[in-house]
Amino acid sequence: MSLRHLLSISDLSPADIQRLYERTRALKEKLPSPTLQGKSIALVFEKPSLRTRVSFEVGMAQLGGYAVYLAPGDIRMGTREPVSDVAQNLSRWVDGIVARVFRHETAVELAQHSSVPVINALTDREHPCQALADLYTLLERFGSLPGRKLAFVGDGNNVCHSLLLVCARLGVHLSVATPEGYRPDAGIFEVARQTASADSRIEWVHDPAEAVRNADAVYTDVWVSMGQEEEREGKLRAFQGFQVNESLLSFARKGAAVMHCLPARRGEEISASALDGPQSVALDQAENRMHVQKGILSLMLEP
């Protein structure tokens, strides 16, 4: 995987993802794996985090390197210091930059001015590390991915965008159900459709039951993302009928995996019984964030 930066799933070919998953499997089976002895990364975070911070910090330590965490108030990119200066300074000290930022443009600008790899750990446009971990979780569960059906129910957000792109590359049929005003970005959706492999079908529907019908896995995410709190009341009205619960899951295949990238609001986008029930793989997804990110770091930072 000869990547300069990982800002989008579009930066990866199907062969890149296959190699990543092979490396992930090897690293997950062998702990620790000090392939990055002496290497360092900077975690540049504009948003608070549980899974992203811990998974990158612990994962880097298991690889023999170390991470420097820069909290939302530490840098204040764009106010205290230009993004370009942050990127150029960090490039002199660390071997990679992991960016969890509000605007996708910020991650792009970091990459433009950085001489070390920049990894997108979440922007308003994409969440590639999450989607790669999600599909790896399904690969572990089913043994293979081509021809499987994943239903995404909820908001056409950054997670949905990355799922669209990765499912298209890996031969997974993705059916997205959102309220009319909350469809995924039209450009990303079209790229996913145009790049879909022969085994993959990419579609948007309005009816959640239609999306979930015969699905092997059903995925949802919070309806109100961080930074969108002022939209909360309107979204709660718009998303009535889109909750993932036992009633909706009855349309899926028996024993279908229930997926959520967390944190979750039980009683809103998903019922407690669905999220905490035996079909849920949410904690497997969370664990695999660390293993897949170790694979990414290993392939991008190894000498």
Query: What are the structural domains, with CATH classification, of the chain?
Result: 31-125 (3.40.50.1370), 130-285 (3.40.50.1370)
CA angle 174, 266, 176 (to 5 degrees): 15
The pLDDT score that the predictor gives to residue 233 is 87
- Check residue 227 and give its pLDDT: 66
pLDDT of residue 231: 81
What is the distance between the alpha carbons of residues 48 and 188, in angstroms, rounded to a whole number? Answer: 26
pTM: 0.97
CB atoms within 10 A of CB 14: 14
Query: Strands 66-70, 40-45: parallel, antiparallel or unpaired by DSSP?
Result: parallel
Residues serving a catalytic function are 100, 127, 130, 221, 261, 289
Report pLDDT for 169: 97
CA–CA separation, 172 and 42 (whole Å) = 34
Residues of the chain short of pLDDT 50, as ranges, are none
Angle between helices 158-170 and 128-142 (to 10 degrees): 50
